[in-house]
Amino acid sequence: MDRLSEYQRKRDFDRTREPAGSSVRKGRRRSLRFVIQKHAASHLHFDLRLELDGVMKSWAVPRGPSLDPANRRLAMHVEDHPIEYNTFEGTIPKGEYGGGTVMLWDRGTYVPDEPRPGEAEADAVRRGLKAGKLSFSLHGERLLGSFALIRTGGRGGAGSPRQWLLIKHRDEHATSGPDATDVFITSVETGRTMDEIARAAGGGEGGGAGSEAGDEMMVPMRATPARGLPESGAWTFEPWRGGVRVLAWAATDGTAMVDEAGRGVGGYPEIAGELADLARRLGGPVVLEGEIAADDDGGEAFFVADILLAGEEVLAPRPWVERRAALEEVLKRRRLNRVRRPENDADPARILERAAAAGWPGMLARRQDGPYQPSEQTDALLRITG
Ligand code: MN
């Protein structure tokens, strides 16, 4: 029972149709089960769940699993879920914990790759998780082959102890082609899309992906993918943590955040509160761009990278160096906890080093003389990976 207490504490089972998980099931079956759920909550992610000791050990993987060994996917260890969760597909009411649409995306069994002679599978899994490195093979309907879960945070290192990486091993199932998460967009159980699951729940509750997108909505400037460093021009480099890039509007009477797809981003009351406070102190609206991502302490923070508007001052058309100075001025001497000062460097080496140490997927590069162009894909902003 204890293992599910965090799961149960976070949920109101009078309001959500998720299973209450009344018991920890001692499994007698020989094969350990796994399930992957696609979950459009405050931001879209995939939940990887591995059966162990009568519960589902769970990781939230913001970008989902990849079959390409070159992709190291951030996986945040979250609370154990009940075995009954393996068949849950539907919507969690807005305002409840994890509110949004849940799709059964893949399921099957898994085995640890490196059991010791005579060691039971569950014992090998438990040992791997405790050591912070588990190699396991999935026998799913969509995902096959060997993966590693590697804990990167905590233990004197940077980052939260909840922070792991999910990486595909090189084997006959590895591929650098399109990601499985892009190929398979329907439920493995019902064949439904996210929108169909949300609609079936009635009233559009849970908000299927894209349902809140507005045509006129300004979204963050889109980065051009790049493999290497830019060859000419003056640039500034900043970490890309693999989180959600947002534009944040803060006014004296409220805040709003929008992701790259134009969806409203909610569920961060502390960040919203601090942004509203910032606008009140400035006596006018402020529009910021940055990334919501896991912080070193295990919470989520808004890592601010750019500024478009400060009160009456429209900063977007001005070169980055001027925006940067304005941003420093706006954040100066503010007591902020979940809104973080920008981190950037004209030398990519330091940022690359930080990214490698923290397991971030890469970095962003902004042209120092470039304007901010909301919603545009521009070569004044690069997303550098690999
Ligand atoms: Mn989830």
Q: What is the pLDDT of residues 257-285, one digit of tens each?
A: 888 887 888 889 899 999 998 988 888 88
What distance in angstroms lies between residue 331's CA and the mean position of ligand 1's atoms? 32
Q: What is the identity of the amino acid at 54?
A: G
What distance in angstroms lies between residue 1's CA and the mean position of ligand 1's atoms? 21
Confidence of residue 25 (pLDDT cuts 50, 70, 90): low
Confidence of residue 206 (pLDDT cuts 50, 70, 90): very low
pLDDT value of residue 66: 93
CA distance 9 to 96: 12
What distance in angstroms lies between residue 90's CA and the mean position of ligand 1's atoms? 12
What distance in angstroms lies between residue 168's CA and the mean position of ligand 1's atoms? 21
pLDDT single digits (tens) 146-200:
999 999 876 655 667 788 999 999 999 998 877 888 888 889 998 888 988 998 8
Residue 346 near residue 237, CB atoms below 8 Å: yes
pLDDT single digits (tens) 213-267:
333 457 899 899 888 899 888 999 999 998 999 999 888 777 888 888 878 888 8
Backbone region of residue 2 per phi and psi (left: phi > 0; alpha: psi in -120 to 50; beta: other values): alpha
* DSSP symbols for 164-193: EEEEEPSSTT--SSS-HHHH--S-TTT---
What distance in angstroms lies between residue 178's CA and the mean position of ligand 1's atoms? 23
What distance in angstroms lies between residue 12's CA and the mean position of ligand 1's atoms? 16
β-partners of residue 293 are 301
Q: In what order do the strands lie in the sheet with 362-367?
A: 222-226, 377-384, 362-367, 235-240
CA distance 241 to 197: 30
